[in-house]
Amino acid sequence: MTGTGRLLRLVLRRDRWIMPLWIFGFGILPYVYIAGFETLFATAQERVDYARVSAANTGFIALYGPLHGDSLGELAVWRGGFVPLMIGLAALLTVVRHTRADEESGRTELVRATVVGRYAQLAAALIATAGASLLMGLVVAGTMIGAGQPVAGSIALGVVFMLSGWMFAGVGAIAAQLTSSARSARTLGVVALGVSFVLRLGGDVSDDREFLAWLSPIGWVHRVFPYGENNGGPAVLALVFAIVTVGVSAYLLAHRDMGAGLLASRLGPATAAASLGSPLALAWRLHRGLLFGWTAGFAALGLVFGGVGSSVVQLAADSGGVDEVFSRIGGSGAVTDAYFATTAAVCGLIAACYAVQAALRMRDEEQSGHAEAVLSTSVGRFTWGASHLIFALLGPAVALLAQGLLAGVVHGTVGPVLAASLAQLPAVWVLAGVTMLLVGTWPKMASLAWGAIAACVLLLLVGSLLEFDQWVLDLSPFTHVPHLPGGTFTPLPLVLLTAVAAAFGGVGLLALRRRDVPR
């Protein structure tokens, strides 16, 4: 552990801009929801009616989790049900960035050449992330108490946010020990996060499968119900999970070599196959694992969402007045249509993460030195960049196709459900184009593309609730996607989004030809 303090200061200095953004950005969201609900509901009865309908709507449950109660605090916690997932993502990416990514780049080897203990780097990354999560929890508790909410419930909500970061910091630490590349570690962490979300969703939307939510760390923090039952049992489970994952990561670190992962990389052949004779073929070789993994994940989502869709029909039949009230608050007029429109929007945002990750692969190749080797041949920069961009565009299309097709087949309405999923593609392509633009013009800040996705998520979660001006909502490409199924389809927004994506991507590719590589 020698040198942990100095490495901790280094971590905090490197993340002095990024870390405060997610600490305070996520930390004030519950307060934002409280303010929005106070503005939205003129009377207590309106709030109760909204809570009754929301608690019975499977689409809302799929996105936000279960709602037990109708107080302002309970509504704010429920509406922020997607936030623990985002906190988990931020935490695991932070840990991977300061462990496996540094090791892959050779920075760890330089640090370990000094008087630094074996566990110091891992400890510094975990302490920084845990401290950031703790500070975020304090921000949540303080702002909610300031908003007039019960002290005990506010503290419990802060603990929920804190534990969400702690749990997935541990998951990120384990992923960093298993793989030999930061990209693979991030993928493993995101897969674990996705599985947790799907298990939570499957358990929440069906009473017969509630046990699934108890297999999910996200499901645990959803079942604390800070302003309702204030159940401490799930919080204890989450704390134990965080401690165990940190312990496992430390154990794994002691049983692997520097620069290597416990999951050994498969050695390739001594000579390249003839099929790798073009930049596109090389890009296929580099992206195929990512494509297969994301497609399999989206296929699983399609099976889950399609199966849940059948219970929505029964919900509409058993809940008198749900169709009418849901239509009044912005749905398509049918509970099933609104459910699949909600799941399509969620899948679109997830597919955007895939698009950004695939587009950033060219930046990874540049930083590792692989791009220089390729570009030292007759391969041009435009061709090399375009070969990666193709998979950032077509990969999400394949994944969304798998999700929409399987969801439609399971539910029995292939056409409308598949159309809802594929309608997200132009918005996804815009974010891929933004990434290409950053890689070409401002490569050192290419990771800001993740910030663009975060902004889209935040506008989805709080934009309508806070009644933002339409021009603010229009900054998200997903605002312009037709509300399908059930809504009115007009091709013009999709055509314009595709044109914007092409413009961003084209400018990025042209800029790539005019700058230094690497940069």
Q: How far apart are CA 433 and CA 501, in angstroms?
A: 5
How does pLDDT run across 165-201, given as a tens digit for each residue?
999 999 999 999 999 888 889 888 988 998 898 888 8
- In the structure, what pLDDT confidence band is assigned to residue 12 with cuts at 50, 70 and 90? very high
Q: How far apart are CA 398 and CA 360, in angstroms?
A: 19
265: left (phi over 0), alpha (psi -120 to 50) or beta: beta
Residue 474: what pLDDT?
87
Query: ∠ CA 275-377-289 to the nearest 5 degrees?
Result: 40
Residue 337: what pLDDT?
79
Q: Positive or negative CA dihedral for 493, 495, 500, 504?
A: positive
User: Minimum mean pLDDT among 151-165, 406-420, 427-441: which range?
Assistant: 406-420
Residue 329: what pLDDT?
40
Residue 33: what pLDDT?
86
* Mean pLDDT, the chain, whole residue set: 86
Judge whether 253 and 119 are in contact, CB under 8 Å.
yes
Query: ∠ CA 69-89-231 to the nearest 5 degrees?
Result: 30
Whether residue 20 is preceded by a cis peptide bond, meaning omega within 30 degrees of 0, is no
Reference 189, options 336, 85, 304, 317; nearest CA is 85
Q: What is the average per-residue pLDDT within 37-50?
A: 82
Q: How many CB atoms lie within 10 A of CB 158?
A: 26
Residue 59: what pLDDT?
66
Residue 314: what pLDDT?
55
Reference 68, options 77, 212, 308; nearest CA is 77
How does pLDDT run across 353-389, given as a tens digit for each residue?
899 989 998 988 888 788 888 888 888 899 999 999 9
Q: How far apart are CA 318 and CA 225, in angstroms?
A: 26
- 490: helix, coil or strand? coil
- Which residue type occupies 255? H
Residue 488: what pLDDT?
80
Residue 311: what pLDDT?
62
Residue 32, pLDDT > 60, answer yes
Residue 465, pLDDT > 70, answer no
Q: Rounded to the nearest 10 degrees, what angle do helices 425-441 and 335-359 cross at?
A: 20
